[in-house]
Amino acid sequence: MARDYTKYQVDGMDGVFGKGKLVLAVVQDYCSKNECTFDELKAAFPDEAQGGNTGVFGTLLEAQEIAKKRARHYVNDKIILKDAIIVVSNQWGDNLPLFIEKAEEVGYTISSEDSSNSGESDSENENNSDTKHYTYIKTFHNENSGEDYKLCESIVAQTNGEYILSFHLDNDGDGVIDTYKFYDIKTKVTGVNGSAWDFQEFTDENDEWTDHGSIEDFGYNSNEISETLYNMKLEFVKTYLNEKSQDDLLYSAAVPFDKRDILKKEIEHDGNLVFEDGDKNILPDVNTTA
């Protein structure tokens, strides 16, 4: 499958933008040209334009509270309104057209710049025979015959020997939280993000913040890594989870009943069933489960 490296341009604004940075740039531009309140900005870019549980933006305090579990906003890019300090969501992917529609309603003209490598299949890293993979799925035990096995947690990881990428789903009681991780093997620095795009914050072995501001700072192609992570998620959902997960992953993630044979009893956790495939040793300590 060819990669989607689509970038976006906005009439009257310099530069090209990835998905998340497009939203950030438009909201910043709108606020610079309109002295609006929180509610007025919400009217221009309502929560529905993000399609998820973060909205297009939220207050800085709300974002900091959410970040105690998972960072889901560009907290380093604060925007000061007349009555609030806000930060923009970094949760963008297939929901981007919802935002573009609202942006165009308030006067922006946005065009896509398709830079996909149509003549190539997946990246060299994915097709390279040296790439190692690991998949782990833990489900709650299903006592009701015929029902799907609700996801407890999962890890999908791969490494090319230079860095490790992983996609995680963890049940928080209401549904699952999706997390994306980048780990640079040479520096032992980790990036954790609530989206496959626009990593901005990184920590070292001692869980101290580093000076890195993007994956490019490590000498890698950010778009390529983000698309790899996104496709890892898509392939995982398609291969292992039920049809509902494809439309409502965060609240419907489950292994279908007809795939129950892949699940085995896990001795360490009574009542849970697991599936494991690949080389677990590729995971750094920061990515292993308890």
Listed residue (74, 93, 72) closest to 4, CA to CA: 93
- Tens of pLDDT, residue by residue over 3-54, are 445 689 999 999 888 788 899 999 999 999 999 999 999 999 999 999 877 8
Length of the chain: 290
Distance of CA 42 to the CA centre of its chain: 24
Q: Can you read off the two tokens belonging to residue 59?
A: 């207050």
Q: What is the residue type of 234? A: L
In this prediction, residue 220 carries a pLDDT of: 85
Element (H, E) at 24: helix 19-33
- Tens of pLDDT, residue by residue over 70-94, are 667 888 789 999 999 999 988 887 7
Higher-pLDDT residue of 165 and 126 is 165
> Are residues 62 and 75 in contact, defined by beta-carbon separation less than 8 angstroms?
no
In this prediction, residue 234 carries a pLDDT of: 92
Spell out where the chain has E strands.
7-10, 57-59, 79-80, 85-88, 110-113, 132-140, 149-159, 163-171, 176-184, 189-193, 202-203, 254-255, 264-265, 272-278
d(CA 225, CA 198): 10
- Tens of pLDDT, residue by residue over 193-203, are 999 988 989 99
| Mean pLDDT, residues 273-283 | 93
Q: Which residues contact 111 (CB under 8 A, 6 or more apart)?
A: 8, 9, 11
Residue with tokens 């922006």: 108
Residue 111, CB-side half-sphere exposure with 13 Å CA sphere? 6
